[in-house]
Amino acid sequence: MTRYKMTMAYDGHLFHGFQKQPNQRTVQGTIEEALEKMTKGKRVVVHGSGRTDAGVHAKGQVIHFDYPDKAGKVIPAQNMMLAINSQMPTDIVFFESEIVDQNFHVQYSTKGKWYRYIVDQHHFTDPFNRFYTGHFPYPVNVELMREASKDLLGYHDFSSFAASGGQIVDKRRTIYYVNIDQDPDRKEIIIDFIGSGFLYNMVRIMVAALLEIGNGKRPVHDLKRVIEAKNRQEVRGTAPASGLYLYHVFYEEIPEKYRLDHKIY
Amino acid sequence: MTRYKMTMAYDGHLFHGFQKQPNQRTVQGTIEEALEKMTKGKRVVVHGSGRTDAGVHAKGQVIHFDYPDKAGKVIPAQNMMLAINSQMPTDIVFFESEIVDQNFHVQYSTKGKWYRYIVDQHHFTDPFNRFYTGHFPYPVNVELMREASKDLLGYHDFSSFAASGGQIVDKRRTIYYVNIDQDPDRKEIIIDFIGSGFLYNMVRIMVAALLEIGNGKRPVHDLKRVIEAKNRQEVRGTAPASGLYLYHVFYEEIPEKYRLDHKIY
């Protein structure tokens, strides 16, 4: 058996999320089917760094799997990637591949995750970006959003930002970095979050709350109060899945430039 | 009756082309249904500057229609556009609107058309651009394509570049301008064509031929011979619909900077 770690991008809009489910088209299911073909019927389990929901995209999802060696021969990492890519539908592509030892686990070895959210600010949805952005046509003051985002940094109980349905009891996480950019030509707002981990729907709920602040619907430092409240009812909105990208998974230490949380304590 | 001229963008990938067809989702059919709702059942015919095929996109398609005045009141052009946009699915958006006189006809008043073709050069298709580019993973020399494109400029019989099935007998057209750009970051080649008009599949056949030249499959000045031959068999390829955009329709004179055809005669 050889363990492969691979990095991939996918367009989530025609998948029912990452995780395999019966009778649904999923990312994990699609890859496992391809591997089963390649091994001529041997089952190969694909592990992901984490799930992504239906409609959510990835620019840097990471998986690992153990592939049976054939007569003691190991397939080189690049050849394995080409072989898998040629089996993939056009909404999945692998772009990095390496052989790792059995101690590496794509979920448990993570040091952090980077999510990106792209907001489309056109009055009417941009036809070419409707599957790849979340539409919010109302005016926003990005400076207010930037100020508000500082309240998310650091180690907090994020219960107010976790959709019900998750099975995780400990809702404490660290957010290391939030950055908010505006692209006036494309009428987009790009919000990056780097953290130790994220709860179910957490990024989409944070985006909804930040947009409400930018739109003047909440006071600029309301997120302090919302975090304290530990109550999901404090933020009702959830930004659409279409704008969300799993952008990068850190197996290296989070670089110092992304440790804004250090600067506030 | 008031005649409105409107400019629109659409994502063609879920439409069976512009032109209305029974039991198919088309751009024209979608707009006419919306207008019929707005007039409470009166039929309003939508005229387009020309058809686009299934999967072909528009960044600047133009339509006109005559809208019945209600009690002598004319709806201002901007209000009409907002009303229609709010009826459109998210793959269509209107962004310019004006009232024109009855002499204006969106098809017969054109002075020229601008098509853009975007080639994706990734080894495997980019998942986020698979509906919005044509995939060509083979190496190309863009300089050869630029040199070859000069042979298309001017007034020619383009029979060799017309798919069978068109009903047009006179296949003489003028190409005013061809420009080929490369975007190394996005691994894209962007090819612009401006001409007096284009035959059925003509842009996609020209793109296929230019890529064959860039790839070394044809001599650089082969298009001279192909044009002379007036035979569709000379170019078998047709680049995929997904990369093609109706980019702009000229009702003004073609600007001098786009009249490269003047420079070669």
> Residue B17 sits in a domain of what CATH number?
3.30.70.580
Residues B65, B23 share a domain = yes
**Euclidean distance between CA atoms A95 and A88, whole angstroms:** 12
Residues A141, A80 share a domain = no
What are the catalytic residues of A? 53
Give the residue numbers spanning the domain of A161: 112-263
Q: Looking at residue A141, which CATH number applies to its domain? A: 3.30.70.660
Query: What is the interface pTM, i.e. ipTM, of the complex?
Result: 0.87
Q: Is B175 within the bounds of a domain?
A: yes
Rounded mean pLDDT, A168-188: 94
Residues B123, B209 share a domain = yes
Instruction: Flag whether pLDDT at A72 surpasses 90.
Output: no
Instruction: Flag whether pLDDT at B265 surpasses 60.
Output: no
Q: Taking CB atoms and an 8 Å cutoff, what residues of chain B touch A88?
A: 124
Rounded mean pLDDT, A119-124: 96
Contact A260, A178 (CB under 8 A): yes
pLDDT tens, position by position, B112-171: 999 999 999 999 999 999 999 999 999 999 999 999 999 999 999 999 999 877 677 899
Residues A223, A125 share a domain = yes
Distance between A28 CA and the closest CA of chain B, angstroms: 16
pLDDT-derived band at A53 (thresholds 50, 70, 90) equals very high
Q: Is A107 within the bounds of a domain?
A: no
Residues B161, B65 share a domain = no
Residues B43, B124 share a domain = no
Cβ pair A127:B85 closer than 8 A: no
Whole-angstrom CA distances from B180 to B132, B137, B177, B219, B245 are 18, 17, 10, 18, 15
- Residue B115 is assigned to a ligand binding site: yes
Query: Residue A179 CB: number of other CB atoms within 10 A?
Result: 14
Please tell me the predicted confidence (pLDDT) of residue B261.
Answer: 85
Distance between A130 CA and the closest CA of chain B, angstroms: 7
Instruction: Flag whether pLDDT at A265 surpasses 60.
Output: no
Please tell me the predicted confidence (pLDDT) of residue B59.
Answer: 98
What are the catalytic residues of B? 53
Q: Measured between CB atoms, does A130 come within 8 Å of chain B?
A: yes
Whole-angstrom CA distances from B46 to A233, B34, B66, B92, B234 are 48, 11, 8, 15, 37
Residues B132, B244 share a domain = yes
Q: Measured between CB atoms, does B130 come within 8 Å of chain A?
A: yes
Distance between B197 CA and the closest CA of chain A, angstroms: 25
Cβ pair B127:A91 closer than 8 A: yes
**Euclidean distance between CA atoms B34 and B17, whole angstroms:** 17
Q: Is A124 within the bounds of a domain?
A: yes
Q: Is B105 within the bounds of a domain?
A: no
Select from A100, A122, A139 the last residue of a domain.
A100
**Residue ranges of B 79-98 with Cβ closer than 8 A to chain A:** 85-86, 88, 90-93
Please tell me the predicted confidence (pLDDT) of residue B264.
Answer: 59
User: Which H or E element spans position A207?
Assistant: helix A202-214
Query: Residue B167 CB: number of other CB atoms within 10 A?
Result: 5
Select from A75, A100, A125 the last residue of a domain.
A100
Q: Taking CB atoms and an 8 Å cutoff, what residues of chain A touch B125?
A: 90, 93
**Residue ranges of A 45-64 with Cβ closer than 8 A to chain B:** 57
**Euclidean distance between CA atoms B119 and B117, whole angstroms:** 7
Give the HSE-up count for residue A132: Cα atoms under 13 Å, Cβ half-sphere: 19
Strand (E) positions, chain A?
2-10, 47-48, 57-67, 92-100, 112-120, 134-135, 154-157, 172-183, 188-195, 244-250
Q: Measured between CB atoms, does B124 come within 8 Å of chain A?
A: yes
Instruction: Flag whether pLDDT at A167 surpasses 90.
Output: no
Please tell me the predicted confidence (pLDDT) of residue B239.
Answer: 97
**Euclidean distance between CA atoms B194 and B210, whole angstroms:** 16
pLDDT-derived band at A166 (thresholds 50, 70, 90) equals low
Q: Taking CB atoms and an 8 Å cutoff, what residues of chain B touch A124?
A: 85-86, 88, 90, 93
Q: Taking CB atoms and an 8 Å cutoff, what residues of chain A touch B127?
A: 9-11, 90-93
CB pairs under 8 A between A and B: 48
Number of structural domains chain B divides into: 2
Select from A100, A135, A161 the last residue of a domain.
A100
Rounded mean pLDDT, A116-123: 97
Pick the more confident residue, B253 or A265: B253
Rounded mean pLDDT, B18-25: 95
Residues B134, B92 share a domain = no
Residues A57, A175 share a domain = no
Q: Taking CB atoms and an 8 Å cutoff, what residues of chain A touch B86?
A: 124
